[in-house]
Structure 1
Amino acid sequence: MDGENEFGRYLKSRRDAVPPAVAGLPDDGARRVPGLRRDEVALLAGVSTDYYTRLEQGRERHPSEQVLAAIARALRLDDAAATHLFRLGMPVPSLTAEPVTTVSRELVTLMDGMRDVPAFVVGSAQDVLAANGMADALYSGFTRFDNLLRMIFLDPFAREFYRDWDKAAEVAVGNLRASSARFPGDRRIEAVLGEISARSPVFASLWARYEVRPRTHEDKVFRHPRIGELRVHYEALAVTSSPGQHLSVYTAEPGSSAQDAFVLLRRLADARQTASNARES
């Protein structure tokens, strides 16, 4: 997906993201790099500049656990980013099962039972594998409710739907980075990455940052074309029986305007279902 020496490119992207002041280093104003220099990372990690340079250039491929931990601290990596660093720096034979793209009947039944909240199942490549009526109604303004990345980057409606489109885009790319790290070489992830990179320069630029951010929960603000603004909370629940799948659920604060909006969304979902049944009969 990223060619040779992904480890080196990840190191460079992370040091570029650390301002010298954050690392406790002076900024002389004459820098040729946006963040830390190689010698500064080496100093902070307690290794030689030559050794760190060889790591970044791919000429040294067997760093110890202690060295990786020191570099993670020097680069101010959070848990997700540090885990990715270790995965790249100390690769082991993969014991992870292949991602599952078929949603179990039991999970569909559970999801459909959530009548009052939008719920949908997302796969490793951010494909929407199944959705309840509330989720279909929530995303009804999009041309297709099929892949979250395609929707965000290739459907013009996304910039109307997401009040903070920039954040939604960054989160989506960081989540795909995390998924691609868990399932290296996955053909569906490769296909989605190739398609959207070719069609969206913004996506390609965000992908090049190497931000690894698995999406687990967050607050969101949507602007629905028929219901208006919704402030919701998002939770992603891992489906342990199906690797790569997450059950995504949106909830509203009790007594909030979003909860009232969910009532309207429920009516819209029922109307869409009635219309669908009429077409099929």
Structure 2
Amino acid sequence: MLLELYLTTKQRIKSYEAKDAFSSIAMGLGNVILGFASKAVVLFVFFLIYDNFRLFTIPIAWWSFILLFFADDFAYYWFHRVSHECRLFWASHVVHHSSEHYNLSTALRQTWSGGFYTFIFWLWLPLLGFHPAMLLLQMSVSLLYQFWIHTETIDKMPKWFEAIFNTPSHHRVHHGSNPMYLDRNHAGILIIWDKLFGTFQAELKDEKVRYGLVTNINTYNPVKIAFIEWLHMLKDAFTGQKSIKHRFLYLIKPPGWKHDGTGKVSDDLRNEWLENNSRK
């Protein structure tokens, strides 16, 4: 982070703001502390499935780690995509997108609540027969890989690398609040999933990435950052005159959805932008 701060200052890129960086670091520390409890829950459930319900026994070997690499990355893609398309998962994931800056400290801005339930996207792996220790190791490798891509100091990687792997350029798009960039590039390590499932968007030279949320939360308080979206979601779901169906839909519909039709989700914002900028 210190090296990045030096490089961005030299390149005249205002990447860091002290309060923002300290908020991100505080979120990261909270994630690590709570991680002791959440990882215990995850390991318990993984071993429960592996010991009692696994369909096969996949040995711990070089080739099984290759299989696990692709399987874990596939699971991560769908976890990440659903975390943008379902408000119940967005409530924890929004933490990572709440900074209006993009640097290595932003990578540390992690959820305090998601670790207790988002692991459901990986349950099929111990069921298939991957040992839980292998799985947790690969999940850690994926998380570590994604640290370095949170930077503006790297413009583009070689073309072959950009075509296969997630890169700073691809991930800058993911953190953009520009309508064109919303809910794109959900990759963990491999960008191929986004290209395969239609969620890829290249970083455009004439569309500078604007970091943060469509409506920013404007706070550096770690507790507010961690839980503010939970409060907003629960308020939308359980207050006012609404049917039981609509209350439930506030939990599973995308962020921005409203039961009276006045809300706008990312697809609506993107389509409006494309219509207004079609000539451009």
TM band (smaller chain): under 0.3
Q: Which has the higher strand share?
A: 1
Say which structure, 1 or 2, has more relative contact order (CA 8 Å, 6+ apart).
2
Q: Which has the higher helix share?
A: 2
- In terms of Rg, which structure is larger? 1
Query: What TM-score comes out, normalization by structure 1 length?
Result: 0.22
Query: What TM-score comes out, normalization by structure 2 length?
Result: 0.22
